[in-house]
Amino acid sequence: MALTQWTEQQLKDACVSLETATPQDILRYAVKNFFPKLTMATAFGAEGCCIIHMLAEIEPRVRVFNLETGYQFKETLDLREKIKERYGIEVEYVRPELTVEEYEKEHGGPLYRHRPDQCCFDRKIIPLRRAVAGYDAWLSAIRADQTSHRAEAGVVQWDAKFNLIKVNPLLRWNKKDVWDFVIKNDVPYNPLHDQGYPSIGCQPCTQQVKDGDDERSGRWAGSAKKECGLHVIEHQQGSGI
């Protein structure tokens, strides 16, 4: 089914049909309806690694990419090689047009300190728009219980920000579901998760979290910012759910 044939009602029907589906079933649905014009963005979080494990069994040819901002932890970048060794899936790096050095020179220093939204926009959102051009759908690893923005998402939804369908296979999972799957299937994961980093983004904007604190409290700590903007829904009349 081509993207141009999808209507708001079809998107709603898809969510209803997948109401009790497992993440694997949702991935099979996405592959059936969108592959080869299906892609996945991953920040190598535990959730994303779970989906890569599932894709390796369902359809390993799905293109998977990482938004390499230039500010990621070394441990995050090292995980890319572990994923390749384990599954034979080589995650593609999608980089901003400017290197970190060029970007900071242009702005007189790092923007993440005083203009983090602009930094995320320039080094994540713009590269993602370029990365998904020509695709009909993209996979994300968000969970509804992570933030209020993510709680608004649907398993299948129209993503007006990037002009394609977004599929969220792990939307109904919680943290325990993720880690139960990781342990049961020996899924490679970022060792920083064992060092007080439940949610990992760019190094300058990610801090360790105390036991019992919200898992995303270490992202942009000390500010109201909890999202880079990739998963903040833009509502557009007639665009889906």
Task: Give the Cα-Cα-Cα angle 155, 133, 106 (nearest 5 degrees).
Answer: 110
For residue 158, CA distances in Å to 12, 26, 134, 235 come to: 10, 16, 15, 9
Determine, yes or no, domain membership for 87: yes
Q: Is residue 22 part of a domain?
A: yes
Judge whether 220 lies within some domain.
Answer: no
In a domain, 223, yes or no: no
119 classed as catalytic? no
Distance, CA of 193 to CA of 208 (rounded, Å): 9
Per the domain annotation, does 228 fall within a domain? no
Q: Is there a domain that residue 91 lies in?
A: yes
Which CATH number fits the domain that encloses residue 41?
A: 3.40.50.620
Residue 3's pLDDT is 56
- What's the pTM value of the predicted model, to 2 decimals? 0.88
Q: What is the mean pLDDT of each run of 10 residues along the chain (241 residues)?
A: 68 94 98 97 96 98 97 96 97 97 96 90 94 96 85 90 94 96 98 93 91 76 57 43 28
Of 146, 133, 135, the C-alpha closest to 198 is 146
Residue at 148 is within a domain: yes
Which one is catalytic: 49, 119, 120, 228?
Answer: 228
Give counts: helices (H), strands (E), the chain.
9, 6
User: In angstroms, how far is the first alpha carbon of the chain from the final one?
Assistant: 18
Q: What total number of domains does the chain contain?
A: 1
Query: Is 225 domain-assigned?
Result: no
Q: Which pLDDT tens digit goes with each residue over 111-156?
A: 988 899 999 999 999 999 999 999 999 999 999 988 777 888 899 9
Cis peptide before 96 (omega within 30 of 0): no
Domain boundaries, position 175: 3-194
